[in-house]
Each structure stands twice: as structure tokens, then as C-alpha cells.
A and B are shown apart, each in its own frame.
Chain A
Amino acid sequence: MGMRSPLRRALGLGSAKEGTGQWWAERMSALALVPLTVWFVASLVAMAGADYYALRDWMGSPVVAALLILLVFVTFYHGALALQVIIEDYVHYRPAKFAGLIAVKAAAVLLALTGVLSVLLVLFTA
């Protein structure tokens, strides 16, 4: 309100106008992760003691594979957004901050891709 000068307000340069975008994305992915996580943990508990072939059969069914891909994708999306905020909160030395931000994004993309490809491989060789 009163913190910006009249000129600043008139020019409309006060913010990047997308400040809530990341916050919103983190919440939406959190919301999606609630049922996905409950399903995944319940499945793991139910699969406890199962052998490799039972596990592979389970993972190779289209519905399970789809849910696993969703789980992997949303988990890394949510995790990358959250780790970005944590780095921005605590790391103020700029080179370390940018290295950290890039490392988090790169690791999230690579790990998510590896996980998704593994599920697809099981699905298509089932």
C-alpha cells in the first residue's frame, strides 16, 4: 500500500506479478500428493513380503503405472519447488545460491525422468 512511491505504482513495476505462482504450484502439488502418497504407502504395505514377479505384475498394470508416474512427477515437482524456497531462505552467498538452485532443478529433472522411464519400461515389457 503505502510502501511504494507514486511513480513506482504508476509505472506498474512494483513486482514481477507472479509472486503467488510458485506458492500456488507448491500447494496444488501438495494437494495431489495427499491421495497419491496414501495410495502408494498402502500399496507398499500390502505388497510387503511379495516376491519380484508379483511386484512386477503390479507395477506393469496400466492403472498402477499411471499412478506411479504421477506420483514420481508430482513428488519431484513439489520437492524441487520446496527445496528452492529453502535455499532462497538460508543461502545468501549468491554463487552458492545459484549453484544450489540449478543443482536442485537438474537433480529433480534427472531423477524424475529415471523413475518415469523405469515404470514405463516395466509397463511395456509386462
Chain B
Amino acid sequence: MTSQNRPLSPHLQVYRPQLTSILSILHRLTGVALAAGTLLLVYWLVSVAAGAEAYESARALIGSILGRLLLFGWSIALFYHLCNGIRHLFWDVGLGYELPVAYRTGWAVMIATVVLTLLSWIIGYAVMGGL
């Protein structure tokens, strides 16, 4: 019996996207983005160790328009993955599975992500004087 042509149960393309499913795949996507972002983290650490000149070129790269955009996107991904990760840890101990709760914590994660991201950049720029 061939297993190639068996009918499949309804799959991604026929499901209507829901908040819960979107947040779920976003957790993976932000995780992958953060994994790529670790390259920047290591580059930054190496530049500090390598001396003032190396650090200045790292700072110029990160401080460029593209660098700032990447850093901004990375900070959103980091805060999202952090907040939603805590949501996942609660699920892992068996809490918060009820649908209304899952939706409420989902919205809370999105709001917290926006607030934390904006707060970090506003404090970083307005109070501490920028990159």
C-alpha cells in the first residue's frame, strides 16, 4: 500500500488564521530572527575586546540607518519572544489553556511588546542620549 496519495486532514491553507495560531508561528519566526541577531551580539562583544577603533566601526555600522532599523526590529523580536516565552512557560506547567485566557494573554503579550519596545527606545534616546 502506497503512503504517497493518502488524503490529508485539513491543513494550513484552509484554516482561517486566528490570533493564537499567528502568535504561535510568530514565536518561531522571532526565535529564528533572534538566532540571526546573535551574530550582531557576538560582533559587538568582539569589537569591545578588540579596542576603541574596532568598537567605533561597530558603532558606526549599528548606528547607520540600516543598523538602527535592524536593531529596532531585533528589539521588537526580543521583547515579543521574551513575553510570549513567559506565556509558553505558563502553558508548560499547565496554566492558561482556556481559550478566553489564551486570547487575553495573547493580547497582553502584543501590548507588552509594543510598550517595552517603545519604552526602551524612548529612554535610550531621550534620557540617555542615543546609540
Q: Which residues of A contact B (CB under 8 A)?
A: 27, 30-31, 33-34, 37-38, 41, 44-50, 52-53, 55-56, 59, 68, 72, 75-76, 79, 82-83, 86, 111, 114-115, 117-119, 121-122
Contact = CB atoms under 8 A, between A and B. Distances in A.
Contacts of A50: 128
B19 interface: no
Interface of B: 28, 31-32, 34-35, 38-39, 41-42, 45-46, 48-49, 52, 55-56, 75, 78, 82, 85-86, 88-89, 92, 120, 123-125, 128-131
Nearest to A55: B48
A31 B52 CA distance: 35
A68 B15 CA distance: 43
Nearest to B56: A52
A72 B130 contact: no
Contact of A48 (B55, B88, B129): B129
Contact of B35 (A37, A79, A121): A79
A15 B41 CA distance: 38
Contact of A49 (B34, B86, B88, B131): B131
B45 A30 contact: no
Contacts of A46: 128
Contacts of A122: 48-49
Given A55-B55, A75-B38, A111-B38, A68 B128 contact: no
Contacts of A37: 78, 82
A27 B120 CA distance: 26
Nearest to A120: B49
A6 B130 CA distance: 67
A50 B124 CA distance: 11
